[in-house]
Structure 1
Amino acid sequence: MSAEVISTLMIITVGEFSVGIIGNAFIVLVNFMNWMKSKKIASIDLILTSLAISRICLMCIIMLDCFMLVLDPDVYETGKQMRIVDFFWTLTNHLSIWFATCLSIFYFLKIANFFHPLFLWMKWRIERAIPGILLVCFAFSVFISLPTAENLDDDFRLCVKGKWKRNLTLRCRVNKAQYASSKVNLNLFTLFPFSVSLVSFLLLILSLRRHSRRMQLNATGCRDPSTDAHMGAMKALISFLLLFIAYYLSFLIATSSYFMPETELAVLIGELIALIYPTSHSFILILGNKKLRQASLRVLCEVAHTLKRRNV
Protein backbone atom coordinates (compact mmCIF):
# COMPACT_ATOMS: atom_id res chain seq x y z
CA MET A 1 0.00 0.00 0.00
CA SER A 2 1.40 3.39 -1.03
CA ALA A 3 2.46 6.01 1.49
CA GLU A 4 0.01 8.52 -0.04
CA VAL A 5 -2.97 6.25 0.60
CA ILE A 6 -1.85 5.59 4.18
CA SER A 7 -1.34 9.31 4.82
CA THR A 8 -4.77 10.19 3.41
CA LEU A 9 -6.54 7.53 5.47
CA MET A 10 -4.68 8.57 8.62
CA ILE A 11 -5.56 12.26 8.11
CA ILE A 12 -9.24 11.39 7.73
CA THR A 13 -9.09 9.08 10.76
CA VAL A 14 -7.42 11.74 12.92
CA GLY A 15 -10.05 14.27 11.81
CA GLU A 16 -12.90 11.93 12.75
CA PHE A 17 -11.20 11.15 16.04
CA SER A 18 -10.78 14.84 16.91
CA VAL A 19 -14.41 15.70 16.12
CA GLY A 20 -15.65 12.67 18.08
CA ILE A 21 -13.55 13.54 21.12
CA ILE A 22 -14.87 17.12 21.08
CA GLY A 23 -18.50 15.99 20.88
CA ASN A 24 -18.29 13.34 23.58
CA ALA A 25 -16.09 15.46 25.85
CA PHE A 26 -18.66 18.25 25.55
CA ILE A 27 -21.40 15.91 26.80
CA VAL A 28 -19.25 14.84 29.75
CA LEU A 29 -18.23 18.41 30.62
CA VAL A 30 -21.73 19.89 30.49
CA ASN A 31 -23.27 17.11 32.58
CA PHE A 32 -20.38 17.20 35.07
CA MET A 33 -20.70 20.97 35.54
CA ASN A 34 -24.47 20.65 36.08
CA TRP A 35 -23.82 17.84 38.55
CA MET A 36 -21.40 20.03 40.52
CA LYS A 37 -23.88 22.92 40.59
CA SER A 38 -26.99 21.00 41.62
CA LYS A 39 -25.19 18.26 43.64
CA LYS A 40 -27.31 15.65 41.84
CA ILE A 41 -27.48 14.13 38.39
CA ALA A 42 -30.54 13.05 36.43
CA SER A 43 -30.77 9.50 35.14
CA ILE A 44 -30.66 10.58 31.50
CA ASP A 45 -27.54 12.68 32.18
CA LEU A 46 -25.88 9.74 33.94
CA ILE A 47 -26.55 7.48 30.94
CA LEU A 48 -25.31 10.09 28.45
CA THR A 49 -22.17 10.74 30.50
CA SER A 50 -21.38 7.03 30.83
CA LEU A 51 -21.98 6.54 27.12
CA ALA A 52 -19.76 9.48 26.18
CA ILE A 53 -16.90 8.30 28.43
CA SER A 54 -17.07 4.78 26.98
CA ARG A 55 -16.97 6.19 23.46
CA ILE A 56 -13.99 8.42 24.25
CA CYS A 57 -12.12 5.34 25.47
CA LEU A 58 -13.26 3.33 22.42
CA MET A 59 -12.04 5.99 19.99
CA CYS A 60 -8.69 6.23 21.79
CA ILE A 61 -8.22 2.47 21.46
CA ILE A 62 -9.12 2.55 17.76
CA MET A 63 -6.66 5.38 17.14
CA LEU A 64 -3.95 3.59 19.11
CA ASP A 65 -4.48 0.50 16.97
CA CYS A 66 -4.29 2.59 13.77
CA PHE A 67 -1.04 4.28 14.81
CA MET A 68 0.55 0.99 15.86
CA LEU A 69 -0.43 -0.58 12.56
CA VAL A 70 1.11 2.26 10.54
CA LEU A 71 3.98 3.54 12.67
CA ASP A 72 5.08 0.53 14.71
CA PRO A 73 3.95 -2.67 12.95
CA ASP A 74 6.54 -4.75 14.80
CA VAL A 75 4.33 -4.62 17.89
CA TYR A 76 1.99 -6.98 16.06
CA GLU A 77 4.60 -9.71 16.42
CA THR A 78 4.28 -9.76 20.21
CA GLY A 79 1.07 -11.21 21.57
CA LYS A 80 1.12 -9.55 25.00
CA GLN A 81 0.75 -5.95 23.81
CA MET A 82 -1.92 -6.83 21.29
CA ARG A 83 -3.89 -8.81 23.83
CA ILE A 84 -4.02 -5.71 26.02
CA VAL A 85 -5.28 -3.62 23.08
CA ASP A 86 -7.82 -6.29 22.13
CA PHE A 87 -9.06 -6.54 25.72
CA PHE A 88 -9.72 -2.81 26.03
CA TRP A 89 -11.21 -2.64 22.53
CA THR A 90 -13.62 -5.45 23.38
CA LEU A 91 -14.45 -3.87 26.74
CA THR A 92 -15.10 -0.34 25.44
CA ASN A 93 -16.94 -1.70 22.41
CA HIS A 94 -19.40 -3.66 24.56
CA LEU A 95 -19.71 -0.83 27.08
CA SER A 96 -20.64 1.73 24.43
CA ILE A 97 -23.20 -0.63 22.87
CA TRP A 98 -24.78 -1.61 26.20
CA PHE A 99 -24.92 1.99 27.44
CA ALA A 100 -26.57 3.03 24.15
CA THR A 101 -29.07 0.20 24.68
CA CYS A 102 -29.76 1.52 28.20
CA LEU A 103 -30.48 4.91 26.62
CA SER A 104 -32.92 3.27 24.18
CA ILE A 105 -34.71 1.45 27.00
CA PHE A 106 -34.86 4.64 29.07
CA TYR A 107 -36.41 6.60 26.17
CA PHE A 108 -38.94 3.83 25.63
CA LEU A 109 -40.00 3.53 29.27
CA LYS A 110 -40.23 7.28 29.89
CA ILE A 111 -42.05 8.22 26.68
CA ALA A 112 -44.16 5.24 25.55
CA ASN A 113 -47.75 4.93 26.71
CA PHE A 114 -48.80 1.39 27.58
CA PHE A 115 -50.98 0.15 30.43
CA HIS A 116 -49.57 -3.31 30.95
CA PRO A 117 -48.73 -3.89 34.67
CA LEU A 118 -45.15 -4.98 33.88
CA PHE A 119 -44.53 -1.88 31.76
CA LEU A 120 -45.98 0.41 34.44
CA TRP A 121 -43.82 -1.25 37.10
CA MET A 122 -40.67 -0.83 34.98
CA LYS A 123 -41.62 2.76 34.17
CA TRP A 124 -41.94 3.52 37.88
CA ARG A 125 -38.65 1.79 38.81
CA ILE A 126 -36.40 2.89 35.95
CA GLU A 127 -35.19 6.16 37.54
CA ARG A 128 -33.86 4.41 40.66
CA ALA A 129 -32.57 1.40 38.76
CA ILE A 130 -30.35 3.24 36.24
CA PRO A 131 -27.13 3.30 38.37
CA GLY A 132 -27.47 -0.40 39.09
CA ILE A 133 -28.19 -1.20 35.43
CA LEU A 134 -25.09 0.69 34.32
CA LEU A 135 -22.97 -1.20 36.84
CA VAL A 136 -24.39 -4.51 35.62
CA CYS A 137 -23.55 -3.52 32.03
CA PHE A 138 -19.99 -2.70 33.08
CA ALA A 139 -19.59 -6.00 34.93
CA PHE A 140 -21.05 -7.96 32.02
CA SER A 141 -18.69 -6.24 29.55
CA VAL A 142 -15.69 -7.09 31.71
CA PHE A 143 -16.92 -10.67 32.03
CA ILE A 144 -17.08 -11.00 28.24
CA SER A 145 -13.77 -9.24 27.63
CA LEU A 146 -11.59 -11.32 29.96
CA PRO A 147 -11.94 -14.70 28.24
CA THR A 148 -11.95 -12.98 24.85
CA ALA A 149 -8.57 -11.37 25.49
CA GLU A 150 -7.20 -14.67 26.77
CA ASN A 151 -8.36 -16.69 23.76
CA LEU A 152 -7.73 -14.26 20.90
CA ASP A 153 -5.58 -15.78 18.18
CA ASP A 154 -2.34 -13.85 17.74
CA ASP A 155 -2.03 -15.12 14.17
CA PHE A 156 -4.46 -12.40 13.05
CA ARG A 157 -2.09 -9.69 14.20
CA LEU A 158 0.91 -11.45 12.70
CA CYS A 159 -0.82 -11.83 9.35
CA VAL A 160 -1.55 -8.12 9.13
CA LYS A 161 2.11 -7.37 8.49
CA GLY A 162 3.60 -10.75 7.71
CA LYS A 163 1.73 -12.31 4.82
CA TRP A 164 4.86 -12.35 2.69
CA LYS A 165 6.48 -14.91 5.00
CA ARG A 166 5.96 -18.43 3.68
CA ASN A 167 5.76 -20.26 6.99
CA LEU A 168 3.47 -17.59 8.46
CA THR A 169 1.17 -17.77 5.43
CA LEU A 170 0.83 -21.50 5.99
CA ARG A 171 -0.10 -20.93 9.65
CA CYS A 172 -2.72 -18.36 8.59
CA ARG A 173 -4.35 -20.83 6.23
CA VAL A 174 -4.40 -23.59 8.80
CA ASN A 175 -6.03 -21.46 11.52
CA LYS A 176 -8.63 -19.62 9.43
CA ALA A 177 -11.55 -21.74 10.63
CA GLN A 178 -10.59 -21.36 14.30
CA TYR A 179 -10.11 -17.61 13.95
CA ALA A 180 -13.39 -17.13 12.07
CA SER A 181 -15.28 -19.10 14.72
CA SER A 182 -13.90 -16.99 17.59
CA LYS A 183 -14.74 -13.73 15.79
CA VAL A 184 -18.28 -14.85 14.95
CA ASN A 185 -18.88 -15.73 18.60
CA LEU A 186 -17.50 -12.34 19.69
CA ASN A 187 -19.77 -10.42 17.30
CA LEU A 188 -22.85 -12.41 18.30
CA PHE A 189 -22.68 -10.93 21.83
CA THR A 190 -23.36 -7.46 20.39
CA LEU A 191 -26.49 -8.59 18.55
CA PHE A 192 -28.52 -8.97 21.75
CA PRO A 193 -28.32 -5.29 22.84
CA PHE A 194 -28.92 -4.28 19.23
CA SER A 195 -32.07 -6.44 19.21
CA VAL A 196 -33.25 -4.84 22.46
CA SER A 197 -32.83 -1.37 20.93
CA LEU A 198 -34.68 -2.48 17.82
CA VAL A 199 -37.58 -3.82 19.90
CA SER A 200 -37.68 -0.53 21.85
CA PHE A 201 -37.86 1.39 18.57
CA LEU A 202 -40.70 -0.78 17.24
CA LEU A 203 -42.65 -0.45 20.49
CA LEU A 204 -42.22 3.33 20.36
CA ILE A 205 -43.73 3.32 16.88
CA LEU A 206 -46.67 1.31 18.21
CA SER A 207 -47.06 3.70 21.14
CA LEU A 208 -46.97 6.73 18.83
CA ARG A 209 -49.56 5.13 16.55
CA ARG A 210 -51.93 4.49 19.47
CA HIS A 211 -51.37 7.99 20.83
CA SER A 212 -52.05 9.58 17.43
CA ARG A 213 -55.32 7.66 17.09
CA ARG A 214 -56.36 8.76 20.57
CA MET A 215 -55.62 12.39 19.75
CA GLN A 216 -57.59 12.19 16.51
CA LEU A 217 -60.61 10.74 18.32
CA ASN A 218 -60.44 13.58 20.81
CA ALA A 219 -60.08 16.07 17.93
CA THR A 220 -57.21 17.86 19.66
CA GLY A 221 -54.58 17.46 16.93
CA CYS A 222 -51.46 15.35 16.80
CA ARG A 223 -48.64 17.78 17.55
CA ASP A 224 -48.76 17.71 21.35
CA PRO A 225 -45.75 17.39 23.71
CA SER A 226 -46.12 13.60 23.89
CA THR A 227 -46.01 13.29 20.11
CA ASP A 228 -42.93 15.51 19.96
CA ALA A 229 -41.27 13.38 22.65
CA HIS A 230 -42.07 10.22 20.68
CA MET A 231 -40.61 11.68 17.50
CA GLY A 232 -37.46 12.88 19.23
CA ALA A 233 -36.84 9.52 20.86
CA MET A 234 -37.49 7.68 17.60
CA LYS A 235 -35.00 9.89 15.74
CA ALA A 236 -32.35 9.15 18.38
CA LEU A 237 -33.08 5.41 18.24
CA ILE A 238 -33.12 5.10 14.46
CA SER A 239 -29.86 7.05 14.18
CA PHE A 240 -28.28 4.69 16.70
CA LEU A 241 -29.55 1.62 14.85
CA LEU A 242 -28.32 2.79 11.44
CA LEU A 243 -24.93 3.93 12.74
CA PHE A 244 -24.54 0.72 14.70
CA ILE A 245 -25.15 -1.34 11.56
CA ALA A 246 -22.41 0.63 9.78
CA TYR A 247 -20.14 0.20 12.80
CA TYR A 248 -20.85 -3.53 12.97
CA LEU A 249 -20.04 -3.97 9.27
CA SER A 250 -16.80 -2.00 9.67
CA PHE A 251 -15.85 -4.20 12.62
CA LEU A 252 -16.43 -7.26 10.42
CA ILE A 253 -14.25 -5.71 7.70
CA ALA A 254 -11.42 -5.09 10.15
CA THR A 255 -11.55 -8.57 11.66
CA SER A 256 -12.12 -10.40 8.36
CA SER A 257 -9.10 -8.61 6.86
CA TYR A 258 -7.35 -11.81 7.88
CA PHE A 259 -8.71 -13.29 4.64
CA MET A 260 -8.05 -10.30 2.35
CA PRO A 261 -4.99 -9.62 0.13
CA GLU A 262 -4.58 -6.01 1.31
CA THR A 263 -4.89 -6.71 5.02
CA GLU A 264 -3.47 -3.41 6.28
CA LEU A 265 -5.72 -1.37 3.95
CA ALA A 266 -8.81 -3.35 5.04
CA VAL A 267 -8.01 -2.74 8.73
CA LEU A 268 -7.52 1.02 8.22
CA ILE A 269 -10.72 1.39 6.18
CA GLY A 270 -12.67 -0.67 8.72
CA GLU A 271 -11.44 1.43 11.62
CA LEU A 272 -12.07 4.66 9.68
CA ILE A 273 -15.71 3.64 9.16
CA ALA A 274 -15.95 2.45 12.77
CA LEU A 275 -15.14 5.97 14.04
CA ILE A 276 -18.23 7.37 12.28
CA TYR A 277 -20.53 5.70 14.83
CA PRO A 278 -19.21 7.18 18.11
CA THR A 279 -18.49 10.52 16.41
CA SER A 280 -21.79 11.16 14.64
CA HIS A 281 -24.09 9.78 17.32
CA SER A 282 -22.66 12.08 19.98
CA PHE A 283 -23.76 15.17 18.00
CA ILE A 284 -27.16 13.62 17.33
CA LEU A 285 -27.58 13.17 21.08
CA ILE A 286 -26.50 16.77 21.69
CA LEU A 287 -29.08 18.10 19.23
CA GLY A 288 -31.78 15.85 20.70
CA ASN A 289 -31.19 16.88 24.31
CA LYS A 290 -32.53 20.31 25.29
CA LYS A 291 -29.91 20.98 27.96
CA LEU A 292 -26.97 19.96 25.75
CA ARG A 293 -28.41 21.79 22.73
CA GLN A 294 -28.75 25.04 24.67
CA ALA A 295 -25.23 24.68 26.07
CA SER A 296 -23.82 24.07 22.58
CA LEU A 297 -25.62 27.18 21.26
CA ARG A 298 -24.12 29.25 24.07
CA VAL A 299 -20.64 27.94 23.24
CA LEU A 300 -21.11 28.68 19.53
CA CYS A 301 -22.30 32.20 20.34
CA GLU A 302 -19.28 32.79 22.56
CA VAL A 303 -16.93 31.50 19.85
CA ALA A 304 -18.59 33.66 17.18
CA HIS A 305 -18.45 36.70 19.47
CA THR A 306 -14.77 36.12 20.22
CA LEU A 307 -13.88 35.72 16.54
CA LYS A 308 -15.84 38.86 15.70
CA ARG A 309 -13.98 40.87 18.32
CA ARG A 310 -10.62 39.64 17.03
CA ASN A 311 -11.49 40.56 13.46
CA VAL A 312 -12.52 44.02 14.54
Structure 2
Amino acid sequence: MSTILAIVFAALVLNTLFGMVANGFIVLFICIDWFRRRKLSPADLILCCLGLLRFTLQIIVILNITLYSFFIRTYFQTYMITINRTIWIFMNILDLWFAAWLSVLYFVKIGIFSHPLFLQMKQRFSRLAPWLLLGSMVFSAAVAIMTGK
Protein backbone atom coordinates (compact mmCIF):
# COMPACT_ATOMS: atom_id res chain seq x y z
CA MET A 1 0.00 0.00 0.00
CA SER A 2 2.83 2.42 0.79
CA THR A 3 4.34 1.90 -2.69
CA ILE A 4 1.08 2.95 -4.34
CA LEU A 5 0.87 5.96 -2.03
CA ALA A 6 4.44 6.96 -2.93
CA ILE A 7 3.65 6.67 -6.66
CA VAL A 8 0.51 8.79 -6.28
CA PHE A 9 2.45 11.34 -4.22
CA ALA A 10 5.22 11.51 -6.85
CA ALA A 11 2.66 11.89 -9.65
CA LEU A 12 0.93 14.72 -7.78
CA VAL A 13 4.20 16.52 -7.17
CA LEU A 14 5.31 16.13 -10.81
CA ASN A 15 1.95 17.31 -12.12
CA THR A 16 2.03 20.29 -9.79
CA LEU A 17 5.59 21.18 -10.76
CA PHE A 18 4.74 21.04 -14.47
CA GLY A 19 1.75 23.31 -13.83
CA MET A 20 3.95 25.72 -11.91
CA VAL A 21 6.50 25.85 -14.71
CA ALA A 22 3.84 26.43 -17.38
CA ASN A 23 2.05 29.16 -15.44
CA GLY A 24 5.37 30.68 -14.40
CA PHE A 25 6.42 30.98 -18.05
CA ILE A 26 3.12 32.62 -18.97
CA VAL A 27 3.49 35.22 -16.22
CA LEU A 28 7.19 35.74 -16.94
CA PHE A 29 6.75 36.40 -20.65
CA ILE A 30 3.76 38.69 -20.12
CA CYS A 31 5.71 40.69 -17.51
CA ILE A 32 8.74 40.96 -19.82
CA ASP A 33 6.47 42.24 -22.59
CA TRP A 34 4.83 44.63 -20.12
CA PHE A 35 8.19 46.13 -19.12
CA ARG A 36 9.23 46.52 -22.76
CA ARG A 37 6.06 48.20 -23.99
CA ARG A 38 5.04 49.93 -20.72
CA LYS A 39 1.45 48.99 -21.48
CA LEU A 40 -0.59 45.88 -20.81
CA SER A 41 -3.57 44.88 -22.92
CA PRO A 42 -6.71 43.60 -21.18
CA ALA A 43 -6.08 40.09 -22.52
CA ASP A 44 -2.52 40.12 -21.17
CA LEU A 45 -3.72 41.50 -17.84
CA ILE A 46 -6.31 38.75 -17.43
CA LEU A 47 -3.87 36.06 -18.58
CA CYS A 48 -1.20 37.34 -16.21
CA CYS A 49 -3.60 37.39 -13.26
CA LEU A 50 -4.90 33.93 -14.16
CA GLY A 51 -1.39 32.50 -14.56
CA LEU A 52 -0.21 34.05 -11.29
CA LEU A 53 -3.28 32.77 -9.48
CA ARG A 54 -2.84 29.24 -10.82
CA PHE A 55 0.87 29.34 -9.96
CA THR A 56 -0.06 30.29 -6.40
CA LEU A 57 -2.73 27.60 -6.32
CA GLN A 58 -0.11 25.01 -7.28
CA ILE A 59 2.13 26.22 -4.44
CA ILE A 60 -0.79 25.84 -2.03
CA VAL A 61 -1.36 22.30 -3.26
CA ILE A 62 2.29 21.41 -2.60
CA LEU A 63 2.14 23.02 0.85
CA ASN A 64 -1.04 21.09 1.68
CA ILE A 65 0.46 17.81 0.52
CA THR A 66 3.63 18.45 2.52
CA LEU A 67 1.72 19.55 5.61
CA TYR A 68 -0.60 16.55 5.40
CA SER A 69 2.25 14.10 4.79
CA PHE A 70 4.74 15.28 7.42
CA PHE A 71 2.81 17.36 9.96
CA ILE A 72 -0.49 15.55 10.25
CA ARG A 73 -1.26 16.72 13.81
CA THR A 74 -0.81 20.35 12.82
CA TYR A 75 -2.82 19.82 9.63
CA PHE A 76 -5.94 18.72 11.52
CA GLN A 77 -5.98 21.48 14.14
CA THR A 78 -9.11 23.63 14.01
CA TYR A 79 -7.44 26.91 13.07
CA MET A 80 -5.41 25.23 10.31
CA ILE A 81 -8.54 23.66 8.84
CA THR A 82 -10.27 27.05 8.86
CA ILE A 83 -7.32 28.84 7.28
CA ASN A 84 -6.85 26.12 4.70
CA ARG A 85 -10.54 26.04 3.77
CA THR A 86 -10.77 29.85 3.50
CA ILE A 87 -7.70 30.12 1.27
CA TRP A 88 -8.83 27.20 -0.87
CA ILE A 89 -12.31 28.65 -1.38
CA PHE A 90 -10.89 32.10 -2.18
CA MET A 91 -8.42 30.78 -4.73
CA ASN A 92 -10.93 28.51 -6.47
CA ILE A 93 -13.66 31.15 -6.73
CA LEU A 94 -11.16 33.72 -7.97
CA ASP A 95 -9.82 31.23 -10.53
CA LEU A 96 -13.33 30.69 -11.85
CA TRP A 97 -13.94 34.44 -12.07
CA PHE A 98 -10.68 35.10 -13.93
CA ALA A 99 -11.37 32.26 -16.36
CA ALA A 100 -14.88 33.62 -16.91
CA TRP A 101 -13.52 37.13 -17.62
CA LEU A 102 -11.06 35.66 -20.10
CA SER A 103 -13.94 33.90 -21.85
CA VAL A 104 -15.96 37.12 -21.94
CA LEU A 105 -12.97 38.99 -23.35
CA TYR A 106 -12.50 36.45 -26.13
CA PHE A 107 -16.23 36.50 -26.86
CA VAL A 108 -16.20 40.29 -27.11
CA LYS A 109 -13.09 40.27 -29.31
CA ILE A 110 -14.25 37.65 -31.83
CA GLY A 111 -17.99 38.23 -31.75
CA ILE A 112 -19.53 39.90 -34.77
CA PHE A 113 -22.84 41.39 -33.72
CA SER A 114 -24.42 44.69 -34.55
CA HIS A 115 -26.67 45.03 -31.52
CA PRO A 116 -26.06 48.36 -29.71
CA LEU A 117 -25.70 46.67 -26.31
CA PHE A 118 -22.98 44.35 -27.63
CA LEU A 119 -21.16 47.21 -29.33
CA GLN A 120 -21.19 49.22 -26.11
CA MET A 121 -19.89 46.22 -24.18
CA LYS A 122 -17.14 45.75 -26.76
CA GLN A 123 -15.98 49.36 -26.36
CA ARG A 124 -16.09 49.44 -22.57
CA PHE A 125 -14.62 46.05 -21.69
CA SER A 126 -11.00 47.10 -22.29
CA ARG A 127 -11.28 49.97 -19.81
CA LEU A 128 -13.24 47.93 -17.28
CA ALA A 129 -10.95 44.87 -17.21
CA PRO A 130 -8.80 45.99 -14.22
CA TRP A 131 -11.90 46.96 -12.24
CA LEU A 132 -13.62 43.68 -13.06
CA LEU A 133 -10.60 41.74 -11.81
CA LEU A 134 -10.43 43.82 -8.63
CA GLY A 135 -14.17 43.40 -8.04
CA SER A 136 -13.80 39.67 -8.53
CA MET A 137 -11.05 39.59 -5.90
CA VAL A 138 -13.17 41.50 -3.40
CA PHE A 139 -16.22 39.32 -4.05
CA SER A 140 -14.16 36.12 -3.78
CA ALA A 141 -12.60 37.28 -0.52
CA ALA A 142 -16.02 38.11 0.94
CA VAL A 143 -17.45 34.73 -0.04
CA ALA A 144 -14.38 32.88 1.26
CA ILE A 145 -14.47 34.66 4.59
CA MET A 146 -18.19 34.01 5.02
CA THR A 147 -18.01 30.32 4.09
CA GLY A 148 -14.59 29.48 5.48
CA LYS A 149 -15.60 29.70 9.13
TM-score, normalised via structure 2 length: 0.95
Question: How far apart, in 1, do the equivalents of 2:75 and 2:125 lie?
Answer: 44
Q: CA deviation at 1:94?
A: 1.0
The CA deviation string for residues 76-127 of structure 1, in whole angstroms up to 9 with x for no partner, is: 4311112111111111111111100000000001111111111110001111
* Number of residue pairs aligned between Structure 1 and Structure 2: 149
RMSD of equivalent CA atoms: 1.0
The residue aligned with 2:25 is 26
Identity of aligned residues (%): 32
Q: Does 1:61 align with 2:60?
A: yes
Output the amino acid matched with 2:73.
Answer: D
In the alignment, is the contact (CA less than 8 A) between 1:75 and 1:82 conserved in 2?
A: no
Structure 2: gaps spanning 5 or more residues: none
The residue aligned with 2:51 is 52
Look at both structures and tell me which one has the larger radius of gyration over its CA atoms: 1
Question: How far apart, in 2, do the equivalents of 1:70 and 1:4 lie?
Answer: 14
The residue aligned with 2:128 is 129
Question: How far apart, in 2, do the equivalents of 1:26 and 1:84 lie?
Answer: 29
Between 1 and 2, higher relative CO (CA 8 Å, sep ≥ 6) is seen in 2
Question: How far apart, in 2, do the equivalents of 1:43 and 1:123 lie?
Answer: 12
The residue aligned with 1:148 is 147
Q: Does 1:98 align with 2:97?
A: yes
Q: Does 1:10 align with 2:9?
A: yes
Question: How far apart, in 2, do the equivalents of 1:103 and 1:60 lie?
Answer: 23
Structure 1: gaps spanning 5 or more residues: 151-312
Question: How far apart, in 2, do the equivalents of 1:18 and 1:53 lie?
Answer: 14
The residue aligned with 2:76 is 77
In the alignment, is the contact (CA less than 8 A) between 1:61 and 1:85 conserved in 2?
A: no
* 1:1-312 map, 5 Å: 2-150=1-149
Output the amino acid matched with 1:31.
Answer: I
Segment of structure 1 superposing worse, 37-46 or 60-69: 60-69
Question: How far apart, in 2, do the equivalents of 1:73 and 1:5 lie?
Answer: 19
In the alignment, is the contact (CA less than 8 A) between 1:62 and 1:89 conserved in 2?
A: no
Question: How far apart, in 2, do the equivalents of 1:65 and 1:13 lie?
Answer: 12
Q: CA deviation at 1:70?
A: 2.1
TM-score, normalised via structure 1 length: 0.47
